[in-house]
Chain A
């Protein structure tokens, strides 16, 4: 019976092609705008590493002075980075399963070959645990061992892009590459890997909407002056930070510039929080950390919220877009009501021939949903186009190219919204249609 109703609904929709086209267009437009903007929102709001986000924590300790406030913070929050010496201090714990600092350094890469031009890049400074912690997939080779971190070995891991650019995609493990004045040994090449947001560094990277860096190096190489690596990225500090004495900067300054991550097994968070607070207390005793204890061990997705990875304006746009859909629905309700009432004769005949009200209601609702599905499909195409347009309009300092695009999520949203729109705008007209009194003197033509 359902299929029969579906057929009747389709016939009825096709009986007024102009109006049906108009309604499909209205739904398509009404669906496309929110679908595109919800997709944009989803790009910002999605979980970049759902399989283990619950076990990854960002760690902050409040080292700040009483006299000033750190830059760009919510009231009550500790600084968004930690200092080098606090990173060293926190690394003493063996509670985490893995731990890594994350920071950036500028350098020049000198590819081999006579036509190859040197190019400038930002190197991601990380610890050995970075790769297993964040499920970075390797195409060739592996990350480096903990010993490489300690002994500041000149090793490097290339992203798939860098390997393509410098080695044409060949297995480059074991080969050397000149970065700055020195030569590094390639120990691993990543498979294409582009977490969105780039969760391990959402402070830089255009709020996490940037590309995976091309080169990964042991963190402590930043301390090797002979490598000419230049610290880059957001940082904030107070007091004397003498930039002319590198060792003083790393070991004695209050300059916050490192995002620090740990992987904790379930149930270990309380232990670790305890450890962090004990560390902070120790620093207090040593005369640092003048503020009350304010340390945070923040789960990954919570950290995304703290850093406002989803720009508030995006949420505003989604609200506006849903209102847009509501307006299209109202429009549609008017059009469908007009259509159903003008075809009250046909409905009357169905009633006379034995259709109960529920059958008329169901048939009309199906007609609305058919229009909805057609509108949803065209809306999906429109949304894909809109996302392309949004990509083109995005300035390069806001997000990487091709950040937004239609995917499975977009399709689901479009179909979901279209079905909801068909249902919402169809309920009232369908109800009115099934209330049309059947009568003998019906005029159909």
Chain B
């Protein structure tokens, strides 16, 4: 079908076409940016943490019984708890770790190589756990050794500590060399720490930027105080009843405490709470927006079908087939949608620059742009189909009827 007559017909309805083009352009710009924000947020949430998230169950508890006021009792109880958990047939391993990874927030320290300049200091989140930490978390050791029982400090006070670091941490402090056996200074040159092992990857939502994957894990000292947390790694396929098993096991060990048992997914969901929240809100806005625009296209096309009822009847009477009428409307709307999307793309990039600089939104990637354009175009066609089909069903007899 020649496009010329369609274009000329559109030129005669400049305002209507312009409004629709503008609406589609705005929608394109906003939808693409929503998608960019969503994908940026999801990328953060979805990046691999290095942990065996699917099989991890977290326990935190607060003690209240008088027995726990004795630090020695608390420390021994932690050992008993962990032994009982590891003895469960469905449990692969368990560790006491503080704070819980992926919960958002924690502790951090700055480090440097002892002879490095102060300006080379890097900040890193810090965890403390026992020697089961790597096998419980599922962290992959790539260099050196795991923590063992002898790394554990037996008294309080300052000392030189062995520690495990992530690859990213090692590369930041000792770029281009093996960090095993090297010292790191966390502010007290007298008592540096010694790197004994490197894990491939661990990421936690805390602090933002490169700090999130530069992590230091220390061996935990004696367990004291009313707050403790454990991580339990279950054997594959046993996740279902794990929370209950863990809770019952610990409660049977010692009842004077308030237990909170959560899956790692719950912990992570809370840790990335704001990301998840933003993804949902943006998702809803995007859907509503597509709906509104689809309704707009639907309304305008319906209106123009009604207006052109007699004209369509005449065309049919002059020999146009149903499919030609259908095609006429589809081509017309594709042209309008095409112009809108083209204009919208320009606006989308402009808006993206603004949102990225002002509010740290995500960048528009090419895959996103292509995906978004296809989505918008599909919505445009879908919204046209119903009224266009109605137009194609009109009887040629309408031509002779006076309206």
Contact = CB atoms under 8 A, between A and B. Distances in A.
Q: Are A and B in contact, CB atoms below 8 Å, in the complex?
A: yes
A330 B273 contact: no
A331 B296 CA distance: 5
Contacts of A151: none
A273 interface: no
A180 B128 CA distance: 26
Contacts of A117: 64, 258
A37 B33 CA distance: 17
Given A239-B187, A395-B269, A68 B30 contact: no
B292 A26 contact: yes
B288 A29 contact: yes
B355 A331 contact: no
Given A315-B358, A330-B22, A395-B277, A72 B289 contact: no
Contacts of B360: 312-313
B277 A398 contact: yes
Given A324-B285, A338-B16, 14 more contacts: A33-B288, A66-B118, A67-B121, A71-B123, A71-B207, A72-B207, A230-B225, A244-B157, A324-B288, A324-B292, A326-B26, A342-B307, A393-B281, A398-B277
Interface in B276-334: 276-278, 280-282, 285, 288-289, 292-293, 295-296, 299-300, 303, 307
A335 B299 contact: yes
Interface string A382-425: 00000000100111111000000000000000000000000000
B27 interface: yes
A33 B269 CA distance: 25
A119 B19 CA distance: 61
Among A106, A108, A120, A316, the most chain B Cβ lie within 10 Å of the Cβ of A316
A169 interface: no
A106 B274 CA distance: 26
B360 to A, nearest CB: 6
Among A337, A390, A393, the most chain B Cβ lie within 10 Å of the Cβ of A393
A117 B65 CA distance: 11
Interface string A314-348: 01110111011011101101110110001000000
19 contacts: A33-B288, A66-B118, A71-B108, A117-B64, A244-B157, A316-B37, A316-B355, A327-B292, A328-B292, A331-B292, A331-B295, A334-B16, A335-B296, A395-B269, A396-B270, A396-B273, A397-B104, A397-B271, A398-B277
Nearest to A107: B226
Contact of A338 (B157, B288, B303): B303
B85 interface: no
Interface SS majority for chain B? helix
B30 A324 contact: yes
A393 B227 CA distance: 28
A335 B303 CA distance: 9
Contact of A313 (B15, B103, B274, B299): B274
Among B16, B121, B207, B289, the most chain A Cβ lie within 10 Å of the Cβ of B289
A22 interface: yes
Nearest to B281: A317
B300 A338 contact: yes
A240 interface: yes
B48 to A, nearest CB: 21
Chain B interface size range: 35 or more
B217 interface: no
Contacts of B121: 67-69
Contacts of A334: 16, 19-20, 23, 296, 299-300
Contacts of B23: 327, 330-331, 334
Chain A interface size range: 35 or more
Which 9 A/B pairs are nearest by Cβ-Cβ distance? A395-B273, A316-B359, A67-B118, A331-B296, A330-B23, A118-B64, A312-B359, A334-B19, A327-B26
Given A320-B282, A331-B296, A395 B276 contact: yes
B188 interface: yes
Contacts of B271: 397
Among A72, A239, A338, the most chain B Cβ lie within 10 Å of the Cβ of A338
B16 A68 contact: no
B289 A315 contact: no
Nearest to B351: A323
A379 interface: no
Nearest to B276: A395
A321 B188 CA distance: 51
Interface string A19-32: 00010001001100
Interface in B233-277: 258, 269-271, 273-274, 276-277
A71 B121 CA distance: 12
A118 B282 CA distance: 42
Among B64, B156, B158, B271, the most chain A Cβ lie within 10 Å of the Cβ of B64
Contact of A324 (B20, B227, B289, B296): B289
B361 interface: yes
Nearest to B354: A319
Contacts of A335: 296, 299
B216 interface: no
B358 A316 contact: yes
